[in-house]
Structure 1
Amino acid sequence: MKDFNRNELLEEITKSVILELQKHNLIQSNERKSHVPVSISARHIHLSQEHIDILFGQGHQLTKFKDISQPGQFACNEKVTLQGPKGTIENVRVLAPIRPKTQVEVARTDARKLGVNPPVRESGNVAGSAPITLIGPEGVVELQEGCIIADRHIHMTPEDARSFGVVDKQKVSVLVEGEKAGVMGKVTIRVRPNYALDMHIDTDDANAFGLNGTEQLKLILE
């Protein structure tokens, strides 16, 4: 083997070893990551077991339709109708796993159709949020609170957070390029070991920026 080829081979082996060590967090990369994948969250609902029993029948178990981006979470075959003072939206899909409190997530466009005024909130923070009625095949639930517009957020593992130079609950901006370019601000970083790297936006944001959910967007520290 010629010296030139031997050196080239050693260089490639060295690169592969370094990348593998970085992958397992045995050494840290000097290059900060900058881009995140984006997913579009259409209107959906998370249910408590109490409300599953009312809407679908006592002891009903949710059934999987398909997996979604976060590990252990999935879209269900079960659907409900949302009813507000001004209108209804049918076939709103339930997501699993079961939650301690029922939470309805809609876009602002949905809220106008329903005639409700939900606040922009982080998932799980439903105290004092908008009331709404849920209609299932077996019963009706009238929520006094629980309807929100989900904040823009990015799921990350602790390793991802270190790679991007951010921490849990930090607010960042995200740059969108293309025909409807712009910047999305007040994006919340959410860090947990069981998360998969993914930015979640609702359908209104997706339409405003011309996104289809296959893009990689650039994170900007505020």
Structure 2
Amino acid sequence: MRVSSNGKLEKVYSVAIDGPAGAGKSTVAKMIAERLNLAYVDTGAMYRAITLKALERGNFSKKGIIKIAEESTIEIINGRIYLDGRDVTEEIRKPSVDEKVSTVASIPQVRKRLVEIQRQMAKNSGVVMDGRDIGTTVLPNAKYKFYLTADIKIRAKRRYEEMLNKGINSDLEKVEQELAQRDKQDMERECSPLKVAEDAVIIDTSHKTPEEVVNEILDYIKRDENVL
């Protein structure tokens, strides 16, 4: 339990949202966190931050990446990502980071370090956390677990349009190929692979708006009268 700003006791619980790239996890998770007045934690952004630092240092050896993960500080403040005190929210979305982040995320020592940070974030306050192994590894005891998925062509189109909106030129076919490769890497890695938690609710977002997905998740959570 925690005490709210108006002095009332509130339940502290976690919402885990997993799924592949382009399924809408981040957008939906942010909206859910805002609706439920919970902290939002984008775990993928944390791996991206480590990837960015490794690229900037020009040291992409396994040993070098592990050292970076161990020595770096990562904070999420008001939805912004800070790496060693520097706001890298926009930089971590560069295509160069997209290409390498799965490699970084597959290193067990890196995952162990970041999972420790993620669990600490959820320890004393309610959170909405999205990623690829939240419901299975990071927060296996999360009260609510959801797995968002979508057709790869639709996911590729979403990512492609997102890049165009940010002024990043790309090719739709190339984006789809990169997503397929990333799916393969994430699902086949030995440490905490992408998979559906046994007790997760699966939602196909292919033909749904973010608002429709959010409402579906909230309707599920509202069934617990002790929460809402």
Q: Same fold (TM over 0.5)?
A: no
Structure with more contact order per residue of length (Cα contacts < 8 Å, sep ≥ 6) = 2
Higher helix share: 2
Higher strand share: 1
Q: What's the TM-score once normalised by structure 2's chain length?
A: 0.26
